[in-house]
């Protein structure tokens, strides 16, 4: 069974051969997708660096091996909307990188051609407005909030047309909607402001048979019906310390594949033996009938020995039929 076929069988709960860490992808992304700056700034800058991305958000790098944090917001007041210059999804400066990366894709390879929509909607909005400001404006200035969300999705749809032109088979989208103890936004706000915009993008991809791998950190159990209604195919990273993973699996069984679930704190602290035990436990719990990619629930600079322990344990315990199932 090829890697692509196995991944598709995982996604569709269709008797995969083995559990793996994720779909094999060749990822396309526009310039600025990962908060790059035309002046050379980005998350690979030294700690203490500041830069301004293509949207006008100012970033500050605080920790090695971890992305920076937004600190300056170009739309922190509704009145600034009149003079704000929205990025053009057809701007050669942004999309050139998409086509350059696509040119290196081997169509005979055992990979999916994938597209990236990092900070798809909610995160991009609070990076423009400021999180507390945006939460307030959703109540006090709802038309302003709707325009910001709508204009962001206009951009994402423009980027999507480039990805579709190149034949992507799967896209990575994402917005963190949870804290460690509960949802970041109430369901009412999510359905009112976010769901209509997500549906614009996801329905476009669905019409072209493209799979959706959606990222949302934190406690997201209450959002599962929304993700499934939107047609998300894979949900990551299902944080082990923020969710009841048994309940998550019960609610999504046969409907929504999961990716993640291995506590990043445990992987960071080790030792390797405990990491391997946790991998085995999660594979049994979440992958009994397919629908599970086994991976850390956060991307962090883990010790190499602990990272290797995850990979070895997936290979040892992730062959179907699973031991003990």
Name 270's Cβ contacts closer than 8 Å, sequence gap at least 6.
303, 305, 306, 309
270 in a domain, yes or no?
no
Annotate 268-290 with b (16+ C-beta within 10 A) or e (fewer): eeeebeebbebbbebbbebbbbb
User: Which domain covers residue 76, as residue numbers?
Assistant: 3-236
Q: Is residue 324 predicted with pLDDT exceeding 70?
A: no
87 in a domain, yes or no?
yes
Name 146's Cβ contacts closer than 8 Å, sequence gap at least 6.
193
298 in a domain, yes or no?
no
Please state the domain count of the chain.
Answer: 1
Question: How confident is the model over 274-322, as pLDDT tens digits?
Answer: 999 999 999 999 999 999 999 999 988 899 999 999 999 999 999 999 9
274 in a domain, yes or no?
no
What CA–CA distance (Å, rounded) separates 209 from 77?
39
Question: How confident is the model over 193-240, as pLDDT tens digits?
Answer: 999 999 999 999 999 999 999 999 999 999 999 999 999 999 999 999
The helix or strand, by DSSP H or E, that contains position 265, with its residue range, turns out to be: helix 264-269
92 in a domain, yes or no?
yes
List the CATH number of the domain containing 189.
3.20.20.210
What average pLDDT does the chain have?
Answer: 96
| Percentage of the chain modeled with pLDDT above 70 | 99
283 in a domain, yes or no?
no
254 in a domain, yes or no?
no
290 in a domain, yes or no?
no
């Amino acid at each position: 069974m090829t890697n692509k076929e196995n991944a598709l069988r995982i996604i569709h709960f269709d008797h995969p051969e083995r559990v793996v860490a994720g779909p094999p992808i060749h990822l396309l992304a526009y310039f600025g997708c990962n908060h790059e700056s035309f002046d050379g700034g980005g998350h690979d800058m030294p700690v203490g660096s500041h830069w301004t991305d293509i949207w006008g958000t100012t970033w500050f790098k605080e920790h090695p091996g971890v992305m920076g944090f937004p600190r300056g917001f170009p739309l922190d007041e509704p009145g600034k909307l009149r003079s704000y210059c929205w990025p053009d999804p057809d701007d050669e400066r942004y999309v050139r990188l998409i086509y350059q990366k696509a040119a290196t894709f081997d169509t005979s390879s055992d990979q999916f051609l994938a597209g990236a929509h990092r900070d798809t909607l909610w995160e991009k909005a609070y990076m423009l407005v400021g999180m507390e400001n945006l939460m307030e404006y959703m109540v006090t200035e709802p038309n302003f909030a709707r325009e910001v969300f709508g204009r962001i999705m206009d951009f994402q749809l423009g980027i999507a047309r480039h990805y579709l032109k190149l034949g992507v088979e799967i896209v990575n989208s994402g917005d963190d909607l949870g804290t460690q103890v509960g949802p970041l936004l109430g369901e009412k706000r999510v359905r009112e402001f976010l769901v209509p915009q997500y549906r614009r993008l996801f329905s476009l991809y669905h019409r072209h048979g493209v799979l959706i791998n959606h990222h949302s950190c934190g406690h997201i159990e209450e959002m599962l019906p929304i993700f499934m209604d939107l047609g998300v195919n894979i949900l990551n990273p299902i944080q082990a310390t923020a969710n009841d993973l048994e309940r998550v699996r019960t609610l999504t069984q046969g409907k929504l594949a999961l990716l993640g679930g291995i506590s990043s704190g445990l992987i960071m602290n080790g030792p390797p033996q405990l990491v391997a035990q946790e991998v085995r436990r999660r594979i049994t719990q979440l992958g009994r009938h397919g629908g599970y990619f086994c991976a850390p629930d956060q991307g962090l600079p883990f010790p190499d020995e602990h990272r290797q322990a995850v990979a070895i344990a997936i290979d040892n315990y992730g062959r179907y039929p699973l031991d003990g199932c």
